[in-house]
A and B are shown apart, each in its own frame.
Chain A
């Protein structure tokens, strides 16, 4: 019998049979890991298996490659404030759906776990969406497709006020400075200033941030599995567009 106990965040739960549920958890040490929760559709347990809920998970199986059974107990109160805020709720659903679809199963990614935990805390705040974009950048880095924002890919200069890093090459994922990008701006992805620690947060910066991470997630992570970006992420962008003023 194989058994372990770990901290986890619920990513998704699908009904299985009449009473059970197959649950996908992001655990601290064991990565994204699915398991069967007996009675997972019961009123008490279904309330625990909400995306974003932190749980104390105990996994058991006869052999390590089996689906196995989970026993889950909530380890922290559900971030109830998120349920009241439509944008935060859409962002939480999107973060859980992206994690569930992007991370390989049973591969430890403690940084993604810690990042998601911090993101859930930040989502109901005004900086929540900026944190979300940074979290997607972290996820890309963790699965091996990090975007290099240290210096310009063409000239090698670092970010400065006179010549800021303003674009990212869609081919290499490396930053390009404003002066070096002049000839082919339309072929590059805009790099929002807040990702380099400067510039005021703005609706356009959010749009650019989501476009940037969405492009690399789609091309590097999802397209290789012939999957589109999760529908939950598209809904988050729709909601964002409804709430933000139209770009000038």
Chain B
């Protein structure tokens, strides 16, 4: 018989992405074997993260500070704003160190099917911030999907009304990509967006 505490732990772990009841049981057994080196540090890290992590009121990033570290960094271009779908995208772009400006996390994409509207994505707040901070360029780093581009077009329209320039990510051949292996849609888009050599 499994005790109530263990059962609760298995149930909670089983709710994590990629884990089911069986793998949650394996994780719990592994944690029990490594109580000092893994279980206790993990428990204290979770408690600490829960107590300290905040959502940045400016960009919706998650950090221990509000405004977040990125929004507070003095060396950043305060007139450039990069709009991303979620925090994972922010981290991905930040790893490239290509953006000198700051970010804005939408928290999703417009979707007629799922009934997600501009208000649910904090788009009005984005526009208010862009106007208040005299942003000179908004980079729409959104996915090249139907929902992603619908959202990009919508935000670009609203920014145009406010006379704020917007740019979008290029679509095309990835670095190290063999043309032979690319899908026709990507290749066609890359050809459409070709530039002089």
Contacts and interface: CB of A to CB of B under 8 A. Distances in A.
B144 interface: yes
Contact of A92 (B114, B145, B146, B188): B146
B120 interface: no
Contacts of B115: 231
A132 to B, nearest CB: 16
A111 to B, nearest CB: 24
B78 interface: no
A228 to B, nearest CB: 12
Most chain A CB inside 10 Å of its own CB: which residue of B112, B150, B153, B183: B112
B185 A90 contact: no
B56 to A, nearest CB: 27
Which interface class (under 10, 10 to 19, 20 to 34, 35 or more) fits A? Answer: 20 to 34
B112 A80 contact: no
Contacts of A76: 184
Interface string B1-30: 000000000000000011000000000000
A93 interface: yes
Interface in B40-92: none
Contacts of B144: 83
A186 interface: no
B122 interface: no
A144 interface: no
Contacts of A18: 17-18
B197 to A, nearest CB: 22
Interface string A73-92: 01011111101101001101
A235 interface: yes
B185 A89 contact: no
Contact of B112 (A14, A78, A86, A231): A231
Given A18-B17, A86-B156, A90-B153, 5 more contacts: A77-B183, A77-B188, A86-B157, A93-B146, A97-B112
Interface of B: 17-18, 112-115, 144-146, 149-150, 153, 156-157, 171, 183-189, 192
11 contacts: A50-B146, A78-B184, A80-B192, A83-B149, A84-B149, A86-B153, A89-B146, A92-B146, A93-B150, A97-B112, A97-B113
